[in-house]
Amino acid sequence: MSTVVLFTGGARSGKSRCAEHYAARLSEQVIYLATATAGDDEMRERISRHRARRPPTWSTREAPANVAAALADLPAGSVVLLDCLSLLVSNLLLANESDPEPAINRELDDLLVMVDQRDLTLIAVTNEVGMGIVPAYPLGRQYRDLLGLANQRVAAAAAEVYLVVCGIPVELRALEAAWNRTP
C-alpha cells in the first residue's frame, strides 16, 4: 500500500535528518531522490554533506524535474526519500517563469500517481517558507506562494506530516485530529 510522509520546517531545522532517520527505520535500501543541482561551490558542499551522511546501502537518483520518471522502474514497496520539494518547485518555476503553476501541478500529479501505481513509500522533505517575511521582489513572492500550494497538495496526500523545529519533529495529523474534535 502506498504511503506519503511529509517533513517540513524552516532552514536548518533538521527536517532532512529527521526524514533520513524515518526512512532508515523503514528500510536499509532507500532510494534518495535528489532535486538539487550544484550550481556553485556552496551548493556542491551542501550536496557533499548530504551524501556523506547517507548509508552505503542507499542509492541516489538525481532528478531536478520529472521526478516521477525517476521512480518508474522501482519495485513495489520501495522507500523513496525526496529531498527536496522546495528545490523541485524552484527548478520548475525557473524553467517555466511565464506560467509555472501548470508545470508544478503536472509534476505533483505525476509524482503522486506514480507513488500510488508503484505502491511506494514516499518521504518528502520541503521548506516552510510562509512563516517569514514577505519577499520584497515578485519572483520571491511567486515562489513562496507556489511552494505553499505544493506543500498543501502533498500534505493532503500524506498519512503523516511532521513540522520540524530545532531538530524536533512534531506530528501534525494528531494535532489536526484534536482540532477537529473541538466544538
- Residue 182 counted as an annotated binding residue: no
β-pair partners for 126? 8
Query: Is 13 annotated among the ligand-binding residues?
Result: yes
Annotated binding residue 51:
yes
Inter-residue contact 64 to 91 (CB < 8 Å)? yes
Task: Give the residue among 112, 104, 124 at the shortest CA–CA distance from 164.
Answer: 124
To the question of whether residue 15 is assigned a binding role by annotation, the answer is yes
Q: How far apart are the first and last CA of the chain?
A: 34
Q: Is 3 annotated as a binding residue?
A: no
- 50 assigned to active site: yes
| Identified catalytic residue from 2, 24, 50, 66 | 50
Torsion angle of alpha carbons 119, 63, 34, 84, nearest 10°? -80
- Beta partners for 162? 7, 171
| 72 is annotated as contributing to ligand binding | no
140 is in an annotated binding site: no
In the annotated binding site for GTP, the residues are 9-16, 34-36, 51-54, 62, 83
Catalytic residues: 50
